[in-house]
Structure 1
Amino acid sequence: MPRFSVIVPVFKVQGFLRECLDSVLGQSYADFEVIAVDDCSPDGCGAILDEYAERDPRVRVLHLPENVGLGRARNAGMPYATGDFLFFLDSDDTLTPGALRAIADRLEEARDPDVLVFDYARTYWWGGTRRNVLARVLAEASVGTFTAVERPEILELLMVVWNKVYRRGYVTEHGFRFPPGYYEDTPWTFPVLLGARRIAALDRICVHYRQRRQGNILSTTSRKHFDIHDQYERVFAHVDAHPELARWRPYLHRKMGEHCLDILAKPDRLPPSDKGEFFRRTAELFRRHRTSTPVPAELRVLEGSYARYLTRRRAAAAGSALDRRARGARKAAVKRVKRGWSWAHERRPLDPNLALYSAFSHRGVLGDPAAIHRAARDLAPHIRGVWVVRRDQVEQLPPDIEYVLPDSLEYRRLAARATYFVNNVNWPRVLAKRPGSVHVHTHQGTPLKYMGADLLGKPGARQGVDVPGMLRRADRWDHSLVANRHSELVWDRAYPCRFASARTGSPRNDVLVNAKPDDGAAFRLRHSIPEDHTVVLYAPTRRDHVRGGHVERFDLARFAEDLGEGHTLVVRLHPSLAKGPARGMGLAELHRRGALVDATDWPRVEEVMLASDALVTDYSALMFDYANLDRPIVVHADDWGAYTASRGAYFDITAGAPGHVSRSYRELTWLFASGSWQDTEATELRSGFRDRFCEFDDGRAAERVVRTLMLGEPDTPISIPLPATAGDDEAPAHA
């Protein structure tokens, strides 16, 4: 008996069907059967299904003699299911890699609940991806099991059948079936969830929900949308037949009204001539099932006439237009006030004891600017340091940090008067560079991939990047901090501006250069990592040739397991991926289960590095910082050719790596299994890498910036070895 029976109803999806089936049959978890139901599809779907069934014994095909619709096609497949759990997958959607393994693990953890609800992401025909906006509901419910009464918010998730798996015994016991018509998921999902004694949640994207440009049934203009009324009648009939569910009638009454009004409001659902009839039938249904619970204000329109509904809709549309014009006028007025405010303060002299700091587009007290700020507090306490921080980051600030919100009047005042500006990204365009002000640009590490003007030759990598505008903002820089001569040469060409290079080293790396054996203990303790464990930090970078930037190079759960006993895997995604769907592809769930540690949100990456014993990365600039720790580094370069073709690189990291290079997952795991990741050759490679890229990092970079660039003291000399070869200082060439 297989663990899963994946039932796939098929109708007119020949362009998407192979991708759907491949996403199932290619899963690392293989204990399943596929029951594909050909709903008398008039295209080539039947032949495709037969081809797959002949090739893979796990696929069984049912050819229906006539088209019966999505719901009844699912019904046709259920009697042939032998799995413990039923999984209904639409034939134009796909499973994400590792989805069945994650679902099976969660089912085992929850001891086979009646229903398991998991997450999904919409994938749009133009290439975009957007995660379910209510993903937090699953995250909050991802421990243990519950009922709908205990967590009613689970009912607010999309009312579809394919974001859940169902224990077959539970479905059989209650005789759940799909009705005919549109919106067939509604009278299935409500009864199933309301009657379940044990529901579990999985905070992981398991399905990519395809948003087709055309062909989506529910986006088609048709009278079939009237089926929604019959479907809710079935829901209420189920509640009537089960008195223990009577408490849900007010909730279902409200949901029905909201659902029907939403259909009515969509311009592409109903023929205009049918909208009045749809409203009247909805209002009749709403009255018939009304409870003693007061009707919400937004649904009271169903107690009136269709003419009154139209009047309110027109009034709301007109009000929205007026609101938009009013908001536009207010925005223009505020902009004029801020411009005038800035102009007035720019007429005043600079404050020689005022410094403005920012990092990562105002994300907090982080990186090189934070290290410089700490040093300035000790060495130049007379210089007032103020941070520019986004509102959503204010609560994370240390209590002794003075801050302003971006583009507030106070920010404008301080920006007009400050003498020192320290940032690791460009300041906004509206900030004027005043004579006498000192702009210190720290960058974000040593560059491997193309930056600045070099992106002009890489149109894919510069998508959405205004390179000329970037260079105009960089014209404000006075000093560009570098940790090595490679960076100095790159920045001179990538940013053809008027700054001077400052061979200070990277201030944020001071803590790495001066690291003590127990500096990473706090991070380990916070994440319950045993003291005797070898911590492997995996830090992949983003891919510019992939929309969204995230590509999962290998199965993280498998890597954590393959590292073996006595090891802990810590994963830190690129900051640009922290808020996207990448975390939902399994990382968050693996962190919850303790399979690995997700350190993506940990604010200070230096602490994550200090807590680790080795780094695995692809092409992240983190490797240049990590080399200061003189700990093993493995470069996983399985797509180096694609990466350099799309983004460009200043040198071949596979030929000048800080350690061993793996070009496949098998090679990566062998390096750790064999112990080669820390052998003599790895040490020699790292030594050469450190000589080249850590040459100015001596543990005093932040002090040097404050003393030389802010206090004007003589430059503190750095002991710089001669280059190994004359060719080391040649300007970097395009890849």
Structure 2
Amino acid sequence: MPRLTLIVPAYNVQGYIGECLDSVLGQDFTDFEVIGVDDCSPDGSGAILDAYAARDPRIRVLHLTENVGLGRARNAGLDLATGDYVLFLDSDDTLAPGSLAAIAARLDAADDPDILVYDYTRAYWDGQLLRNKRSDLMSEADPKVFSLAERPQLLDLLQIVWNKAYRRDFVTRHGLRFPPGYYEDAPWTYSAMIAAERIAVLDRSCVLYRQRREGGNILHTVSRKHFDVFDQYDRVFAFLDERPELDRWRPALFRKMVDHFLTILERPGRLPRNARAEFFHRAAKDYRGRLPEGFERPPGGRGYKYALLGVDSYSAFFGVTRANNVRHRARQGGQARIGRAKRAALGMFYRSQLRMPLDENLAVFSAYWGRGYSCNPAAIEAELGRLAPGVRRVWAVRSEHRDRVPKGVEKVIVGSREYWAVMARAKYLTNNVNFGDTIVKREGQIHLQTHHGTPLKTMGLDQAQYPASTNMDMELLLRRCDRWDYSLTSNRFSTTVWERVYPCRYTTLETGYPRNDVLLRATAADVVRARHDLGLADGSTAFLYMPTHREYEKSFAPRVDLPKLAEALGPDVTLLVRGHYFYKPTGRLAELQASGRVIDVSAHGNVEELYLAADALVTDYSSAMFDYANLDRPIVIYADDWDTYRVVRGTYFDLMAEPPGAVATSQEELTAVLGSDAWRDEKAAELRAAFRERYCDYDDGHAAERVVRRVFLGEEALPPVVPLAERTPAPSPAEALERAGRV
């Protein structure tokens, strides 16, 4: 029997649950079990739980067949608990290091109390940490164990269940269960605290309570769901009514109930405007029905609001709170004025266009900050033309990149009159990065964020932990992300990262990356043509070298001596180099380029054609490896500065432990790998297969169709994803040439 059982319910938390479980499994105290409860989550939360359970026997997973809500999911986990103590941990929160050891030690020191209360810290999205404001109540001064009567102020803590360890036989003896609803912590917390005979505290912040920027719980929603609070206090007082020996707690619980009602009434953004009066009258009814004999109202203005509830005078209560509401509206008005000032800066023409109706058949596309026609937006634009030719498709590009848009594709220059017109009136806006800050997201517009890679390196909010690699204003970044309606992903791994580092209100579409469709649908003729266009000889081996950018380096430093590598590999090998423009054709490099032994493809407009032409990819930390893996061709990692890169830039997994193929850490090793069969041997194939299983979830050749049907045509039933084992990628160059009869 373990000392501790941690119950972790999961619903739509795939971006957070891995971090939660890592914080538990990384504890130095090991005598525990984890019961993960998949509350029929529609995202990948259940699969993530299963993956962790497969690696650690201390984790058991329960998959519910229907969504029952947080409280009843906890009950399901409680039924499986075997530990001496039960702890509840929400799956988007984490444990601070050393917490379980501290909890276990305090339980031992206090001789197994009914309840141990420990502290928590609010962890905000911008990195700010703020300890519980009532941490003063966590004093461990003697006695180690006490009754609630000795410290009644503990009832003033936030009514949450996850800052306590409960002795399991105490929970069973009192029949503690979570009710359905949205304020389910209140009846459990108050019932447990007043029933406990022996309580202890731990003056340590054990839980990092994640404060999501958007959403996450009922407190961030305007909804009638807040009426649930009445049912929950019905349960609190029913528990009290069944136990006359606890009746001394009636005044304290009445005060907590009324304070809770007033909080919901007073806080903006909770009740719909047309429900406030109804809520007040229901609160007044419960006030009068539960008013303890001899109850003394609190002093001052708070007590006056108690009195207004007692006489059910909503009009008078509204007068008391009007000043606060006026101040809130003033703040909102200030934000609106800032928005109007920004719109005014865009110019009279843009403002006039913003007042015009949206064009339901106009779609604007852009990629890489207006640098041309490419990536996921290009693939989506082409598919939209096939499935919905009536939709006008316009590309937004910067003036210096206008020639990168194919002939026949309509374009506007960023900043021009035409640009502001289409940005103001287009129904659909698609980009693989964010549009500029001056763009106003109109009601009714649909913003599709496609992204442009699978993240090995840290992104979004996580970049704040690596200041050497970014000086990004995170608040400004998230304001841009607030405009997204849809976010594309090509694998479950990306989904969990994007949803955590861009915590905004959008819908994730696990469709695959449209740009990779060609890698699954290209024919042998397409591969031969791609090689011919690059001037590759039929019998040659082409290695595509694609190093990534290092934001923390002030200037570019070539990581490979290209002439030396080309000379060592011999005349039958061609290096396709998609790198920095500082690879200038000087000296021997110029000669090799002239002979076709080294080909600079940095300016090539279609990287997917380069993938088709290459026999293998050589890269360091570029997201190209995830795309190229869809071809099931060899990948070589050249990681001469991995230790520096992962510390300075930050990464999501250890590439050296989970590479997609052979690894070299010096030019000598790289030469040896490429000069032998190590780049394509059985070991490399095994590594690639495992990599593909992890990261090639959805790229099956039909991603663009799924996106267009879902976003532009509004269809819910989409073509299913073809399983990885059933996909047939484009043939390798050798296979393509053989089919063409050229070898």
TM-score, normalization: structure 1?
A: 0.50
Give me the whole-angstrom Cα distance separating, in 2, the residues matched to 1:466 and 1:411: 26
Q: Which residue number corresponds to residue 602 of structure 2? A: 600
Tell me, yes or no, if structure 1 residue 646 matches structure 2 residue 648: yes
- Kept in 1: contact 2:585–2:593 (CA 8 A): no
- Kept in 2: contact 1:387–1:402 (CA 8 A): yes
Give me the whole-angstrom Cα distance separating, in 2, the residues matched to 1:453 and 1:609: 31
Tell me, yes or no, if structure 1 residue 488 matches structure 2 residue 495: yes
Aligned match for 1:564, one of 559, 564, 570: 570
Give me the whole-angstrom Cα distance separating, in 2, the residues matched to 1:357 and 1:719: 25
SS in 2 for 1:448: coil
Tell me, yes or no, if structure 1 residue 395 matches structure 2 residue 397: no
- Kept in 1: contact 2:346–2:438 (CA 8 A): no
Map 1:85-124 → 2, pairs under 5 A:
none
- How far the C-alpha of 1:527 sits from its partner, in A, is 3.2
SS in 2 for 1:608: helix
2:486 corresponds to which letter in structure 1? Answer: H
SS in 1 for 2:679: helix
Give me the whole-angstrom Cα distance separating, in 2, the residues matched to 1:680 and 1:656: 16
1:640 corresponds to which letter in structure 2? Answer: W
Q: Which residue number corresponds to residue 405 of structure 1? A: 413
Q: Which residue number corresponds to residue 633 of structure 1? A: 635
Aligned match for 2:553, one of 532, 546, 559: 546
Gaps of 5+ in 1: 1-333, 724-735
SS in 2 for 1:393: helix
- Kept in 2: contact 1:543–1:551 (CA 8 A): no
- How far the C-alpha of 1:521 sits from its partner, in A, is 3.0
SS in 2 for 1:520: helix
- Kept in 1: contact 2:517–2:702 (CA 8 A): yes
Tell me, yes or no, if structure 1 residue 462 matches structure 2 residue 464: no
Summarize the Cα distance change of 1:467–1:653 in structure 2 as closer, same or farther, 3 Å threshold: same
Summarize the Cα distance change of 1:722–1:670 in structure 2 as closer, same or farther, 3 Å threshold: closer
Summarize the Cα distance change of 1:648–1:669 in structure 2 as closer, same or farther, 3 Å threshold: same
- How far the C-alpha of 1:408 sits from its partner, in A, is 1.0
Q: Which residue number corresponds to residue 249 of structure 2? A: none
The one-character-per-residue Cα deviations of 1:480-520 (angstroms, maximum 9, x if unpaired) are 10000100011011111111110010000000112322323
The one-character-per-residue Cα deviations of 1:279-317 (angstroms, maximum 9, x if unpaired) are xxxxxxxxxxxxxxxxxxxxxxxxxxxxxxxxxxxxxxx
Q: Which residue number corresponds to residue 430 of structure 2? A: 422
- Kept in 2: contact 1:638–1:664 (CA 8 A): yes
- Kept in 1: contact 2:366–2:395 (CA 8 A): yes
The one-character-per-residue Cα deviations of 1:249-305 (angstroms, maximum 9, x if unpaired) are xxxxxxxxxxxxxxxxxxxxxxxxxxxxxxxxxxxxxxxxxxxxxxxxxxxxxxxxx
Q: Which residue number corresponds to residue 441 of structure 1? A: 449
Tell me, yes or no, if structure 1 residue 372 matches structure 2 residue 370: no
SS in 1 for 2:655: coil
Give me the whole-angstrom Cα distance separating, in 2, the residues matched to 1:480 and 1:436: 17
Moved more, 555-564 or 600-609: 555-564
Give me the whole-angstrom Cα distance separating, in 1, the residues matched to 2:675 and 2:405: 42
Give me the whole-angstrom Cα distance separating, in 2, the residues matched to 1:518 and 1:448: 33
Aligned match for 1:354, one of 353, 362, 366: 362
Map 1:705-724 → 2, pairs under 5 A:
705-719=707-721
Q: Which residue number corresponds to residue 295 of structure 1? A: none
Summarize the Cα distance change of 1:602–1:377 in structure 2 as closer, same or farther, 3 Å threshold: same
- How far the C-alpha of 1:392 sits from its partner, in A, is 1.9
1:345 corresponds to which letter in structure 2? Answer: Q
Give me the whole-angstrom Cα distance separating, in 2, the residues matched to 1:425 and 1:583: 29
2:515 corresponds to which letter in structure 1? Answer: R
- Kept in 2: contact 1:448–1:650 (CA 8 A): yes
- How far the C-alpha of 1:592 sits from its partner, in A, is 3.6
Give me the whole-angstrom Cα distance separating, in 2, the residues matched to 1:689 and 1:658: 5
- How far the C-alpha of 1:386 sits from its partner, in A, is 0.4
Q: Which residue number corresponds to residue 657 of structure 1? A: 659
The one-character-per-residue Cα deviations of 1:584-611 (angstroms, maximum 9, x if unpaired) are 6776674245330000000110111111
- Kept in 1: contact 2:447–2:483 (CA 8 A): yes
Q: Which residue number corresponds to residue 526 of structure 1? A: 533
Number of aligned residues: 384
- How far the C-alpha of 1:377 sits from its partner, in A, is 0.3
- Kept in 2: contact 1:544–1:646 (CA 8 A): no
Tell me, yes or no, if structure 1 residue 473 matches structure 2 residue 480: yes
SS in 2 for 1:674: coil
Summarize the Cα distance change of 1:434–1:585 in structure 2 as closer, same or farther, 3 Å threshold: farther
- How far the C-alpha of 1:678 sits from its partner, in A, is 0.6
Give me the whole-angstrom Cα distance separating, in 2, the residues matched to 1:617 and 1:441: 26
Give me the whole-angstrom Cα distance separating, in 1, the residues matched to 2:655 and 2:415: 40
Q: Which residue number corresponds to residue 228 of structure 2? A: none
Q: Which residue number corresponds to residue 499 of structure 1? A: 506
Give me the whole-angstrom Cα distance separating, in 2, the residues matched to 1:713 and 1:583: 50
Moved more, 538-547 or 700-709: 538-547
Summarize the Cα distance change of 1:344–1:418 in structure 2 as closer, same or farther, 3 Å threshold: same
2:559 corresponds to which letter in structure 1? Answer: R
Summarize the Cα distance change of 1:415–1:686 in structure 2 as closer, same or farther, 3 Å threshold: same
Give me the whole-angstrom Cα distance separating, in 2, the residues matched to 1:644 and 1:596: 30
Aligned match for 1:702, one of 683, 692, 704: 704
Gaps of 5+ in 2: 1-341, 726-743
Summarize the Cα distance change of 1:559–1:479 in structure 2 as closer, same or farther, 3 Å threshold: same
Give me the whole-angstrom Cα distance separating, in 1, the residues matched to 2:343 and 2:483: 23
- How far the C-alpha of 1:718 sits from its partner, in A, is 3.3
Tell me, yes or no, if structure 1 residue 680 matches structure 2 residue 672: no
Q: Which residue number corresponds to residue 45 of structure 1? A: none
- How far the C-alpha of 1:674 sits from its partner, in A, is 2.4
Q: Which residue number corresponds to residue 109 of structure 2? A: none
1:679 corresponds to which letter in structure 2? Answer: D
Summarize the Cα distance change of 1:337–1:589 in structure 2 as closer, same or farther, 3 Å threshold: farther
- How far the C-alpha of 1:543 sits from its partner, in A, is 1.6
Map 1:576-595 → 2, pairs under 5 A:
577-578=580-581, 581-583=582-584, 590-595=592-597
- How far the C-alpha of 1:712 sits from its partner, in A, is 0.5
- How far the C-alpha of 1:528 sits from its partner, in A, is 2.2
Give me the whole-angstrom Cα distance separating, in 1, the residues matched to 2:489 and 2:381: 18
- How far the C-alpha of 1:661 sits from its partner, in A, is 1.1
Q: Which residue number corresponds to residue 31 of structure 1? A: none
Tell me, yes or no, if structure 1 residue 624 matches structure 2 residue 626: yes
- How far the C-alpha of 1:397 sits from its partner, in A, is 2.5
The one-character-per-residue Cα deviations of 1:129-173 (angstroms, maximum 9, x if unpaired) are xxxxxxxxxxxxxxxxxxxxxxxxxxxxxxxxxxxxxxxxxxxxx
- Kept in 1: contact 2:636–2:661 (CA 8 A): yes
Map 1:68-217 → 2, pairs under 5 A:
none
- Kept in 2: contact 1:542–1:551 (CA 8 A): no
The one-character-per-residue Cα deviations of 1:535-582 (angstroms, maximum 9, x if unpaired) are 11111011223113x231221111112222321111101xxx44xx44
The one-character-per-residue Cα deviations of 1:82-106 (angstroms, maximum 9, x if unpaired) are xxxxxxxxxxxxxxxxxxxxxxxxx
SS in 1 for 2:464: helix
2:413 corresponds to which letter in structure 1? Answer: L
SS in 1 for 2:361: strand
Q: Which residue number corresponds to residue 99 of structure 2? A: none
TM-score, normalization: structure 2?
A: 0.50
